[in-house]
Amino acid sequence: MFEKVNPAHPDKLADRIAGAIVDFAYVKQKDPKIAVEVMLGHHACFIIAETSVHILMPYVKETVERIAGEGLAVEYIEVPQDPKLAENQENGIRCGDNGIFRGMPVTDEQRRLSDVARDIYSRFSYDGKYILDGDRLIICQSNAPADQLCSLYPDAEINPIGDWTGGTKVDTGAVNRKLGSDMADSVTGGGLHGKDLSKADISVNIYAWLKAQETGEPVEISCAIGDETVDGKPYAEIVETAREFIERKAWTAMNHRCSCSWRWMGKSFTLSAAACPFMRTGALIIILLLKTWQIFHRKSVKVWQPAGMRSQRV
C-alpha cells in the first residue's frame, strides 16, 4: 500500500520552494547552514529561514511565483542560526542534529505507482494524489477530464467525489508533510526538504536509503548532534555521498528536460542531452547555439530548458 502526490500538490510546492531557497544559499556559499520552513495556501505564503546566508526578498518572491504561481502574498522572516548549532560546525563537518533513520528497498508496488504519478503529471501538470493498494488504484487528479483518465487507466477509481480544481487556492501546503510520498517505508522522524547537507535529516536519510538499495536489506541508523562518525563512517563522507547523489539526480533530470528540435531540408531533427550521456556539456552548448541561431534567423527551433532540481527526489 503506497500513496504518491505530484509536484503540483500544495505540500510539494512548499517543499520545492524551501529547496530552491536552499539551492540559492549553496550558490552563495560552499557549505551554508540553513533550514527553511514554508507554509502556503489561500493567497498567502509564509517563509522562515534560519540561515548563514542572506537571501534577498526579491529572489524569495520570484521563487514563490515561479514554483507556486502568481497571486500569493509572501511574508519572509530571516534569522541567524542558533549560536550553539553554529559552533558545532566551526572546525569540521559534524552531525547537525539527533535522529533515527531507516532505509528500505523500494518495492515493485512503489515503482509502479511512481510511474503512474509521473505519467499522469506529464499530461496534467496540476495538483494530484494517487494510491495503490494491491490491485486497487485510486487516482485523484485535478483539472483533468475524467474520460481521459479513464481511457488511460480503465481499472482505476477516478476522482471518487467528482472533478475538482485543487491547488493553493483551495488547499494549504507545508514543508515535509508528504514524507510518505517521498520516502515510502523509509519514513522516520526526519524531513528531507529545506535543509543543508550538514543536517542528518538530509544526508543520513539519503545514505540509509542508498545503502538499502545496494544491499537489498533494511537499514537502521541513529546519531547524535556533534557525532563525527555515523554507521562507522566519517560524517563528512556521508555528507559527500548525499551531495553526489543530489548532483547526479539533478544532472539526469536536466539532461532529460533539456533538448531541442528543428527542421532542415524537409526533415525533423531532435537533440537531447539525455541521448548524449558522454557528451552532455557539448550537447547543451549546441542546444544554446541553435537557440541563438533561431533568434537571429527566425527559424523554428523549440527549446526546453531545465528547472531547478535540488528540491526533487525520486
Q: Does the pLDDT at position 241 exceed 60? A: yes
For residue 300, the model assigns a pLDDT of: 44
Distance from C-alpha of 45 to C-alpha of 167, rounded to nearest angstrom: 13
Considering the domain boundaries, does residue 39 fall inside one?
A: no
pLDDT digits (tens, 9 = 90+) for 71-116: 999 999 999 988 888 888 888 889 988 999 999 999 999 999 999 9
pLDDT digits (tens, 9 = 90+) for 29-53: 989 999 999 999 999 999 999 999 9
Considering the domain boundaries, does residue 274 fall inside one?
A: yes
Q: Does the pLDDT at position 266 exceed 70? A: no
Query: Measured between alpha carbons, how far apart are the two ends of the chain, in Å?
Result: 18
Considering the domain boundaries, does residue 288 fall inside one?
A: yes
| Contact predicate 97/200, CB 8 Å | yes
| Beta bridge partner(s), residue 135 | none
Considering the domain boundaries, does residue 277 fall inside one?
A: yes
Q: Does the pLDDT at position 278 exceed 70? A: no
**Side chain identity, residue 14:** A
Considering the domain boundaries, does residue 313 fall inside one?
A: no
For the record, the C-alpha cell of 230 comes out as: 555515523
Share of the chain above pLDDT 90, in %: 71
In b/e form, how buried is each residue of 242-278, taking b as 16+ CB within 10 angstroms? bbebbeebbbebbbeebbbebeeeeeeeebbbbeeee
Detail the DSSP E strand segments found in the chain: 2-5, 34-41, 44-51, 73-79, 99-103, 128-133, 136-141, 157-158, 172-174, 219-223, 229-230, 233-234, 259-264, 267-272, 301-304
For residue 285, the model assigns a pLDDT of: 64
Task: Tell me which of 1-5, 184-188, 252-256, 305-309 is least confident.
Answer: 305-309
**Side chain identity, residue 297:** H
Our CA angle for 206, 211, 214, nearest 5°, is: 125
In what order do the strands lie in the sheet containing 172-174? 73-79, 44-51, 34-41, 172-174
Q: Which domain holds residue 291?
A: 258-304
For the record, the C-alpha cell of 186 comes out as: 523509509
Task: Tell me which of 121-130, 186-195, 199-208 is least confident.
Answer: 186-195
What is the pTM for the complete model shown? Answer: 0.82
**Any long-range contacts for 136-139 (C-beta under 8 Å, 24+ apart)?**
137/113
Considering the domain boundaries, does residue 229 fall inside one?
A: no
Residues 52-73, mean pLDDT to the nearest whole number: 96
Considering the domain boundaries, does residue 291 fall inside one?
A: yes
Q: Does the pLDDT at position 258 exceed 80? A: no
As a whole number, the mean pLDDT across the chain is 86
Considering the domain boundaries, does residue 176 fall inside one?
A: no
Share of the chain above pLDDT 70, in %: 80
Q: How many domains, in total, are found in the chain?
A: 1
Distance from C-alpha of 295 to C-alpha of 285, rounded to nearest angstrom: 16
Residues 291-311, mean pLDDT to the nearest whole number: 45
pLDDT band, residue 189 (cuts 50/70/90): confident
